[in-house]
């Protein structure tokens, strides 16, 4: 948005309606945050002792994996103008179920598909409540946030199951050779690529943006809005359950309170990445950059011994700037333009 | 027109994603169950080095304290004791930690300390297992790990500084409660988080001890204030409305007991419902003086942190390796001996009453 000097966009701006035109889903917001990320990584590498080491990058990436993973389906949901706040509770519930089944003697090869299936069911419940009953997704998923977390405590109570095989838990935290790239990053990148293609290069992706801009218009152009949204919630459930499996292996501990509050970090990454919370605009590149930036800032500040209360203030402020910034510039632009014409 | 490409395509993509995820999850090997896992689980550490009791503690040791959470008065005092010891040892003290006491939040701090090359990490675990692999990485990076207050799996640390034996803590609290309510009546427990390692161990011991020694004392409920002041306050309120004939509350956590005391002192239950548990004298002073609380107990957390720092320094210098029977000097606290499973017991808890509370400032 800051680079509006080329003739094309300026011409586009001449149209009066303030709604986001097709320009909304080009890259600007994503590239701003990506530039910011690259700059930050460069500065931190030179000025923070140990930040650029392979060991530290491994630690950092491990902290991002689950957030980035869940951000994939959630970005699609936010683009359509909906939200799913139950993702972290799905992580917790699938972790608890995984622990319970493991304790009962099932094999991990059976448990993992079962957990993903569970995720699909949990997502479908959200999706059906939103699409069939027409309830706002914010209300539905605040409810299931509490419900699924509660179920997790029903399953595992205050117990922790921790005797997962060392070969699996070691895999989850170790890297390829000495590279500082955790094993989980490669499958994650595959999923990122798939999601990016779907969102930015297929009719499905265009349909999602269309739904976010105007649901009625999307419906009239033949998009099955309800069905699409239902499947998005199912996808969010499955992916969150996968996140739960990975979380459990990474920490070697299945617990009902795993990943409590993670939904806010995922939503933070998405908003920081320039996706509009009202739907209709945003890009996956920005979201991934947002997730990495939040984690890198935390990591670098920890390395220079900034206390954690200050860390929360910094990340919170960063988020507000990221969300408010585009709004303010948009409003300023809108205010300066139409007023000159009528008055 | 009616069925646009969307639904079908989207389903295809989602199925594809799910299958990819499945393959990813299943790829490792065939049929791993809990039974084969035991064999897979080779022992972690094994201290092969031998101790040299005469080794000098070098100056400039980087000793980091990682409490369950920051801004918790109990850990502030414990870490303060640690700082005193580190200063006496001419070391480099630091305190880092998460603002919320969750299992996984400590991991990134351990990782940071590993990266910074800490010599000694003194920590209190929010989860006995979740920080294990991070501690393993820290130890393979050369750090010595001492746990205090809440232990991890013994394989993941070098020493555990136990504040008191669990039996001692549980028995003291039940005895104090029984003394105040005449050994009979309904009693509830207001604990920290549902997963807190030591609280759960104490609660089990309290129940069995009460059952044996005070059969008339009935523990009717255990509620969790999550070591948050407001939640503990609300849980206290809930207990009293749910059990109108409640005789007493035991809160084996400093956050819980002060929140409960604050509620009781401002309510009609003041002086009628007994409250005891584990609290710090500074938090509880006004409630002891105004008659809400008769007695409560605690070890001195400053001594706990102090001992942990000395133990960590002794490990790092090679004076001890963590094997049973080794002795080391812990400054003002005198000499300590490593017990079974790398445990060192600080001592018996102190009971605070209106008579002695003014002698303590922490």
CB contact under 8 A, B112 and A153: no
In this complex, the residue of A165, A190, A223 whose CB is nearest that of residue B4 is A223
Q: Which of residues 309-338 of A touch B (CB under 8 A)?
A: 309, 312
Mean pLDDT across A168-188: 89
Give pLDDT tens digits for A206-258: 999 999 999 999 999 999 999 999 999 999 999 999 999 999 999 999 999 99
pLDDT band at A10 (very low <50, low <70, confident <90, very high): very low
In this complex, the residue of B6, B32, B97 whose CB is nearest that of residue A224 is B6
Mean pLDDT across A57-74: 94
Tokens of A289: 């950059």
3-state secondary structure A311-333: HHHHHHHHHHHHHHHHHHHHHHH
CB contact under 8 A, A120 and B30: no
Cα separation of B148 and B242, whole Å? 36
Alpha helices per DSSP H over B41-196: 73-88, 105-116, 132-140, 166-181
Mean pLDDT across A285-310: 91
Tokens of A261: 């509050």
Considering only residues A16 and B25, tell me which one the structure prediction assigns the higher pLDDT. B25
Beta bridge partners of B45: none
β A160-161/A254-255 pair status: antiparallel
- Is some CB atom of chain B closer than 8 A to the CB atom of A31? no
Number of inter-chain CB pairs under 8 A, A vs B? 202
Give yes or no for a contact between B14 and A235, defined as CB atoms under 8 angstroms apart: yes
Tokens of A203: 């009719």
Q: Which of residues 58-77 of A touch B (CB under 8 A)?
A: 59, 63
| Of residues B145, B278, B260, B122, the one with CA closest to residue B199 | B278
Q: Is the ipTM of this complex over 0.85?
A: no
Handedness of CA B93, B98, B99, B102 (dihedral sign): negative
Tokens of A22: 């097709």
Tokens of A17: 């309606």
Supply the pLDDT for residue B10. 56
- Distance set, CA B243 to CA A78, A110, B236, B256, B268 (Å): 46, 45, 11, 18, 14
pLDDT above 70: residue A315: yes
Which residue is listed with tokens 């007994």? Answer: B274
Cα separation of A290 and A78, whole Å? 15
CB contact under 8 A, A251 and B107: yes
pLDDT above 60: residue A53: yes
pLDDT band at A23 (very low <50, low <70, confident <90, very high): very low
Cα separation of A298 and A308, whole Å? 9
CB contact under 8 A, A59 and B108: yes
Question: What residues of A are in contact with residue B191 (Cβ under 8 Å)?
Answer: none
CB contact under 8 A, A50 and B194: no
β B92-95/A254-255 pair status: unpaired
Report the 10 Å Cβ neighbour count for B256: 33
Give the range among A7-11, A167-171, A221-225 with minimum mean pLDDT: A7-11
Residue of A nearest to B27 (CA): A109
| Of residues B291, B303, B259, B282, the one with CA closest to residue B362 | B282
Mean pLDDT across A159-167: 89
Residue of B nearest to A301 (CA): B112
- Is some CB atom of chain A closer than 8 A to the CB atom of B340? no
How high does pLDDT run on average in chain A? 87
Supply the pLDDT for residue A15. 34
Residue A214 region, left (φ>0) first, then alpha (ψ -120 to 50), else beta? beta
For residue A158, the distance in angstroms to the closest alpha carbon of chain B comes to: 5
DSSP A109-167: HHHHHHHHHHHHHHHHHHHHHHHTS---HHHHHHHHHHHHHHHHHHHHTT-EE----HH
- Is some CB atom of chain A closer than 8 A to the CB atom of B33? yes
Considering only residues A127 and B196, tell me which one the structure prediction assigns the higher pLDDT. A127
What φ, ψ does residue B353 adopt, rounded to 5°?
A: -135, 180
Cα separation of B56 and B340, whole Å? 25
Cα separation of A200 and B302, whole Å? 58
Question: What residues of B are in contact with residue A299 (Cβ under 8 Å)?
Answer: 108, 112
For residue B200, the distance in angstroms to the closest alpha carbon of chain A comes to: 9
- Is some CB atom of chain A closer than 8 A to the CB atom of B4? yes
Beta bridge partners of B276: B250
Q: Who's near A143: CB < 8 A, 6+ residues apart?
A: none
Supply the pLDDT for residue B255. 94
Considering only residues A320 and B241, tell me which one the structure prediction assigns the higher pLDDT. B241
Question: What residues of A are in contact with residue B37 (Cβ under 8 Å)?
Answer: 163-166
In this complex, the residue of A158, A228, A247 whose CB is nearest that of residue B195 is A158
Give the range among A62-71, A148-157, B15-24 with minimum mean pLDDT: B15-24
CB contact under 8 A, B114 and A55: yes
For residue B269, the distance in angstroms to the closest alpha carbon of chain A comes to: 30
Q: Which of residues 59-88 of B touch A (CB under 8 A)?
A: 70-71
pLDDT above 60: residue A178: yes
* C-alpha triplet A104, A105, A110: angle, nearest 5°: 105
Cα separation of B271 and B287, whole Å? 10
CB contact under 8 A, A312 and B99: yes
Rounded to a whole number of angstroms, the distance between the first and last alpha carbons of chain A is 27
Give pLDDT tens digits for B260-297: 999 999 999 998 999 999 998 999 999 999 999 999 99
Q: Which of residues 235-264 of B touch A (CB under 8 A)?
A: none
Give yes or no for a contact between A211 and A223, defined as CB atoms under 8 angstroms apart: yes
| Positions in chain B whose pLDDT score sits under 70 | 1-30, 37-49
Tell me the Cα Rg of chain A. Answer: 21
Tokens of A259: 């990943």
């Amino acid at each position: 948005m800051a680079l509006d000097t080329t003739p094309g966009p300026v011409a586009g701006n001449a149209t009066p309606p303030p709604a986001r035109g097709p320009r909304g889903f080009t890259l600007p917001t994503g590239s701003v945050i990506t530039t910011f990320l690259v700059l930050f990584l460069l500065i931190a590498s030179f000025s923070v002792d140990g930040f650029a080491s392979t060991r530290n990058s491994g630690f950092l990436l491990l902290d991002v994996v689950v957030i980035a993973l869940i951000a994939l389906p959630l970005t699609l949901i936010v683009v359509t103008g909906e939200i799913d706040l139950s993702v972290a509770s799905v992580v917790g519930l699938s972790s608890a179920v995984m622990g319970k089944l493991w304790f009962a003697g099932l094999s991990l090869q059976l448990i993992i598909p079962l957990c993903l299936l569970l995720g699909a069911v949990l997502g479908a419940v959200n999706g059906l409540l939103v699409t069939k009953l027409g309830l706002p997704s914010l209300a539905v998923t605040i409810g299931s946030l509490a419900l699924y977390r509660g179920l997790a405590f029903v399953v595992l109570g205050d117990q922790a199951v921790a005797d997962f095989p060392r070969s699996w838990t070691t895999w989850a935290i170790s890297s390829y050779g000495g590279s500082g790239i955790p094993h989980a990053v490669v499958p994650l990148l595959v999923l990122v690529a798939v999601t990016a293609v779907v969102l930015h290069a297929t009719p499905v992706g265009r349909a999602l943006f269309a739904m976010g801009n105007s649901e009625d218009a999307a419906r009239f152009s033949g998009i099955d809005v309800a069905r699409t949204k239902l499947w998005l919630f199912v996808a969010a459930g499955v992916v969150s359950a996968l996140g739960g499996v990975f979380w459990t292996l990474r920490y070697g501990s299945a617990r009902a309170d795993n990943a409590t509050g993670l939904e806010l970090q995922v939503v933070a990454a998405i908003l920081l990445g320039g996706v509009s919370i009202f739907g209709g605009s945003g890009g996956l590149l920005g979201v991934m950059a947002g997730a990495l930036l939040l984690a890198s800032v935390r990591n670098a500040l920890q390395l220079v011994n900034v206390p954690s209360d200050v860390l929360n203030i910094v990340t919170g402020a960063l988020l507000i700037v990221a969300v408010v910034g585009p709004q303010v510039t948009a409003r300023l632009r809108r205010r300066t333009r139409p007023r000159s014409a009528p008055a | 027109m009616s069925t646009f490409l969307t639904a079908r395509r989207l389903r295809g993509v989602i199925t594809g994603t799910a299958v990819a995820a499945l393959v990813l999850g299943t790829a490792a090997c065939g049929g791993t169950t809990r039974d084969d896992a035991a064999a897979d689980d080779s022992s972690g550490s094994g201290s092969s080095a031998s101790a040299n009791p005469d080794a000098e503690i070098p100056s400039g040791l980087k000793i980091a304290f990682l409490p369950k959470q920051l801004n918790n008065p109990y850990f502030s005092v414990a870490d303060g004791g640690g700082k005193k010891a580190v200063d006496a040892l001419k070391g480099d003290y630091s305190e880092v930690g998460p603002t919320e006491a969750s299992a996984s939040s400590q991991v990134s701090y351990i990782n940071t300390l590993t990266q910074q090359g800490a010599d000694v990490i003194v920590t209190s675990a929010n989860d006995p297992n979740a920080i294990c692999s991070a501690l393993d990485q820290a130890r393979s990076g050369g750090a010595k790990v001492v746990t205090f207050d809440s232990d991890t799996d013994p394989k993941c640390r070098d020493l555990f500084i136990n504040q008191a034996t669990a039996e001692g803590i549980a028995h003291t609290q039940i005895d104090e409660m029984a003394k105040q309510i005449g050994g009979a009546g309904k009693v509830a427990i207001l604990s920290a988080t549902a997963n807190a390692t030591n609280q759960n161990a104490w609660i089990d011991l309290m129940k069995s001890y009460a059952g044996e020694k005070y059969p008339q004392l009935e523990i009717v409920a255990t509620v969790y204030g999550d070591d948050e002041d407001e939640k503990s306050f609300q849980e206290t309120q809930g207990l009293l409305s749910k059990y109108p004939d409640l005789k007493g509350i035991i809160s084996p956590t400093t956050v819980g007991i002060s929140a409960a005391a604050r509620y009781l002192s401002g309510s009609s239950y003041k002086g009628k419902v007994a409250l005891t548990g584990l609290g710090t004298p500074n938090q509880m002073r006004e409630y002891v003086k105004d008659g809400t609380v008769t007695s409560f107990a605690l070890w001195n957390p400053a001594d706990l942190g102090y001992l942990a720092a000395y133990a960590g320094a002794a490990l790092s210098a090679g004076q001890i390796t963590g094997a049973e029977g080794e002795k080391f000097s812990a400054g003002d606290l005198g000499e300590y001996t490593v017990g079974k499973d790398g445990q060192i017991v600080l001592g018996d808890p102190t009971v605070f009453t209106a008579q002695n509370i003014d002698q303590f400032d922490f």
